[in-house]
Chain A
Amino acid sequence: MTSGSNPAEAVESSVLADGTYDVVITGTGLTECILSGLLSKRGFKVLHIDRNPYYGGACASLDLQQMWKKFCLSGSIPEELGSAREYNIDLIPKFILATGKLVRILVYTGATRYLDFKLVDGSFVHTGDRPHRVPSTPMDALRSSLFSLLEKNRCRQFFGFVQSYDPEQVTQRGPDPRTMTMRALYDYFGLQETTRTLIGHAIALYTNDAYLEWPALPTIERIKVYAQSVARYGSSPYIYPMYGLGELPQAFARLSAVHGGVYMLRTDVETILTDTETGRVCGIRTPDGREARCRFVVGDPSYFPDLVHRVGRIIRCYCILRAAPAHIREASSCQVIVLHRAVAAERRNDIYVLVLNSAHRVAAPDRYIALVSTVMETADAEQEIEAGLAILGGEANILARFLTVDDVFEPIHDGRECGIFVSRSYDATTHFESTTEDVLDLYRRIVGEELMFDDKPV
């Protein structure tokens, strides 16, 4: 046990915690907590603080009392919702791809020992009529009711090509995804427009069509990750932690603490201290005048409003449902992607609906939660997510709902010159691949080298 001052004494001192660190990390969102764990594990002395009294920052999971508070609702929580404590509503709704990069980091760091995961039951795509299971293998393509007979065969050939494609062993025959665009690859297989949308949005999980003009290889890799993830456990490519996504940052915080990282909640930053000679960061000061010295500062955008710019907005709607929505009753947890084309001709971004219940310990028994989100395209958030809410079984099935529009920020510089490394806001994708890429990129910029995973297959 580290001996040290108790909290009452620390307040009177002008030194924050031990006073000198390699890194001060601000905000306990997932990105910051993974970095904290990785840096502590590597031997950095880490001080990790958050202005909130709870872990998770923007990606915390809240119970109903916390939701009522966040959305400034007066009045008591309706009894029909059940026990308020049993809810864990993710502010950033996402699932975890079973063979994605986050799982590799969880296994590499051993943070899995603090978590219990359960499979998500289903992955659906809504093309306008009803939700269909998402096909991802040549066999699925033949069985799926989404394709016409001729298209089934073209689709089977496409999935066959993707499955056997290995960038390390390229033969001269056939299309080359390294040089051609994804649009050209679709053309090569003669796939219909609706099939392209299905593949790009429900399998490669792009939120819009920009990827069509990019080289095809990254898309091929995304399709492979999806198919491998489905193959890993069965009914869907996703896993999800018991008690909600808020468990993830906590697990990495614990990992960091085990390796010497120091945690302080209810602690804000007032000033970032810079060395006047070098112009580099040299510490932080809290509102009550305590200071910690450090070589780097890492944090989420909310701590550095001057160092980020807004790149978009995301609508998120958290709903509590009386019962499972129709058509997806066989799945107690699932993802439904409502394709942009099924919403409106001019819409570019899909609407994502994640459904969960008490099987994952995120809702009271018998109740469901549905998390609806999309990239904001107009000024009318309510109207934009209507098509997502429409599949939840009507107003009578929605017992409560909370709507929010979140700004999405990106850092204006890469931080190498000043030593301040700012993470990106969580994006609209339904999984953690981009978050994990941000973590690995920040790690590279801070440490100066790549994170070397044990590359054992997971």
Chain B
Amino acid sequence: MQRPLVALKIVLVGNSAVGKSSLLLRFAEGTFAELPATVGVDFRVISLENVQGYRVKLTCWDTAGQEKFRTLTSSYYRGAHGVIMVYGIDDPESLKHLETAWLEEARRYVNNPNAVYMIVGNKSDLPTAVVPRADGRRLAERVGALFLETSAKSGSGVSECFVELVARILEAQPHVTGDGEQAGVQLEAGPYHETASCLC
């Protein structure tokens, strides 16, 4: 028998240049080989074959540059099951902003009380970390988020980050199974749905 399918929405937030897109690229590239150069990444759909007995269709939304001046739209967050909040371990400001800006915005617009938050310290390949790992971990504990350090460059910690998040989401909200399609009207037939990866 086939494993049940779960569709999940993940959003990435955090300051510019902390490596959100690279993180996503690294994770997606392990699954899909070729990715054309792009102006902006909209979202990527990644399939995980077995997480706790489920097949998972993960739609990961990137900020499309709208994080730069803090102009992400409320619909970006809406319906998210998981929020990945990224800082750079070379950039103390980016960790501070997770607490003072991004967490507040995400909590305001993610209309899902069971959403799982994860704080990710990226660029762990850098030889000298300016931000001690303990600082990131402490913030995660204080706000009830998961914590990991990753390197999008070397790949270290990247798939663990996504898989761990998905596992916790499945624990936190056992009723998410289904293909996630809305019951609303479909304005067009086919072309914009079920694309493996949307690169505009």
| In the bound complex, CA of A239 to CA of B20 (Å) | 35
Task: Give residues 40-65 of A contacting B (CB, 8 Å).
Answer: 55
Contacts of A253 in B (CB 8 A): 66, 71, 73
Q: A164 at the A/B interface (Cβ < 8 Å)? A: no
Task: Give residues 67-100 of B contacting A (CB, 8 Å).
Answer: 68-71, 73-76, 78, 93
Contacts of A4 in B (CB 8 A): 16-17, 68
A45 to chain B, nearest CB (A): 11
Contacts of B42 in A (CB 8 A): 113, 254, 258
| In the bound complex, CA of A78 to CA of B40 (Å) | 44
| In the bound complex, CA of A262 to CA of B78 (Å) | 22
A151 to chain B, nearest CB (A): 34
* Contact B21 A1, beta carbon cutoff 8 Å: yes
Interface locus among B1-9, B128-136, B184-192: B184-192
From DSSP, what is the main secondary structure of chain B's interface residues? loop
* Contact B16 A3, beta carbon cutoff 8 Å: yes
* Contact A117 B19, beta carbon cutoff 8 Å: no
Task: Give residues 324-341 of A contacting B (CB, 8 Å).
Answer: none
A2-B65, A6-B93, A117-B185 are known contacts. Are A250 and B73 too (CB-CB below 8 A)?
Answer: yes
| In the bound complex, CA of A4 to CA of B42 (Å) | 19
Q: B47 at the A/B interface (Cβ < 8 Å)? A: no
Contacts of B73 in A (CB 8 A): 55, 250-251, 253-254
Q: B22 at the A/B interface (Cβ < 8 Å)? A: yes
Which of A106, A116, A118, A265 interacts with B69 by CB under 8 Å? A265
Contacts of B93 in A (CB 8 A): 6
Contacts of B69 in A (CB 8 A): 7, 10, 17, 262-265
Q: A127 at the A/B interface (Cβ < 8 Å)? A: no
Chain B's closest residue to A267 (CB) is B69
* Contact B16 A6, beta carbon cutoff 8 Å: yes
* Contact A260 B39, beta carbon cutoff 8 Å: yes
Contacts of A92 in B (CB 8 A): none
A455 to chain B, nearest CB (A): 13
Q: B167 at the A/B interface (Cβ < 8 Å)? A: no
Give a binary string over B173-198; 1 marks a CB under 8 Å from any A CB, 0 the rest: 00000000010110110001000001
Q: What is the interface residue range for chain B against chain A? A: 20 to 34
Q: Which of B73, B184, B188 has the most CB of A within 10 A?
A: B73
Contacts of A106 in B (CB 8 A): 187
Contacts of B39 in A (CB 8 A): 258-260
B191 to chain A, nearest CB (A): 8
Q: A167 at the A/B interface (Cβ < 8 Å)? A: no
Chain A's closest residue to B91 (CB) is A6
Q: B200 at the A/B interface (Cβ < 8 Å)? A: yes
* Contact B17 A254, beta carbon cutoff 8 Å: no
Contacts of A115 in B (CB 8 A): 75
Which of A6, A55, A116, A257 interacts with B65 by CB under 8 Å? A257
Chain B's closest residue to A265 (CB) is B71
A326 to chain B, nearest CB (A): 28
Task: Give residues 127-149 of B contacting A (CB, 8 Å).
Answer: none
B5 to chain A, nearest CB (A): 20
Chain B's closest residue to A242 (CB) is B184
Q: A458 at the A/B interface (Cβ < 8 Å)? A: yes
* Contact B192 A113, beta carbon cutoff 8 Å: yes
Q: B64 at the A/B interface (Cβ < 8 Å)? A: yes
Which of A107, A119, A239, A243 interacts with B75 by CB under 8 Å? A243
Chain B's closest residue to A263 (CB) is B71
Subset of 29 A-B contacts with CB under 8 Å: A1-B19, A1-B22, A2-B17, A4-B16, A7-B69, A7-B70, A55-B71, A103-B187, A106-B187, A107-B187, A112-B187, A112-B188, A113-B42, A115-B75, A116-B182, A243-B75, A250-B73, A253-B71, A254-B42, A254-B66, A258-B42, A258-B64, A259-B39, A259-B200, A262-B68, A262-B69, A264-B71, A265-B69, A265-B70
In the complex, besides A1-B63, A4-B68, A259-B40, 20 extra interface pairs with C-beta distance below 8 angstroms are: A2-B65, A4-B16, A17-B69, A55-B71, A103-B187, A107-B187, A113-B42, A115-B75, A243-B75, A254-B64, A257-B64, A257-B66, A258-B41, A258-B64, A259-B39, A260-B40, A263-B69, A263-B71, A265-B70, A265-B71
Chain B residues close to A by CB (< 8 Å)? 15-22, 39-42, 63-66, 68-71, 73-76, 78, 93, 182, 184-185, 187-188, 192, 198, 200
